[in-house]
Amino acid sequence: MAKRHRYTLGGRVCHGPGISSWVGGRLVLPSFRKGEPVTVADTAANTEPRKLGVFNQLARFIIIGGGCAVIDFGTYSLLLGVLGWPIWLSKSLSFILGTTASYVINRKFTFQGAGQGNTTAKVGAFVVLYTTTFFVNMGSNQLLCVVFNAQEAWQFTLFWVIAQGLGTMINFIMLKLLIFRD
């Protein structure tokens, strides 16, 4: 049984038999009019992903980061407020969960350079970056809690937001420039 191909002829989408060949990077299919061949543009040229501009990447990063911040803050609030765990442990575990989600989602939807080059090296660079960010995030959160003698829920929330904002800024710049270069 012959394969059927989808192609355009005079602006119309048509289907035809599977007798085809590649000529000069173009797919040539048989025509149903007077034996003239019909050419179809190479589909590979049309399927290359469009590069996102830095503002589009930043917008995606912030939207995805917002969702991951919900994971982070929800975990932090549960562990600290409900279960009564220490600040450092609550913040550590919540950071790890939120960061892992952020990496997986941003790798797919924000940075096109994620699948190019040495992915093992990128994972290693990611680990170094997020380890650094972890200590900046943890340190700033812990420092603010100690310096301002945090006792109220609003203080823990405010200090979490400040630490998260600092970490987000560092992460976007370093992910864009070093890890997921386009």
Reported as a single tens digit per residue, the pLDDT across 136-174 is 988 999 999 999 999 999 999 999 899 988 988 888 888
pLDDT reading at 42 higher than 50: no
Specify which residues 39 forms β-bridges with. Answer: 28
**35/6 Cα distance (integer angstroms):** 18
pLDDT in tens, 47-106: 455 666 778 888 888 898 889 999 999 999 999 999 999 988 998 999 899 988 988 887
Q: Please state the pTM of the whole predicted model.
A: 0.58
Supply angle C-alpha 168, 80, 96, rounded to 5: 40
**181/149 Cα distance (integer angstroms):** 41
**167/14 Cα distance (integer angstroms):** 53
pLDDT reading at 114 higher than 70: no
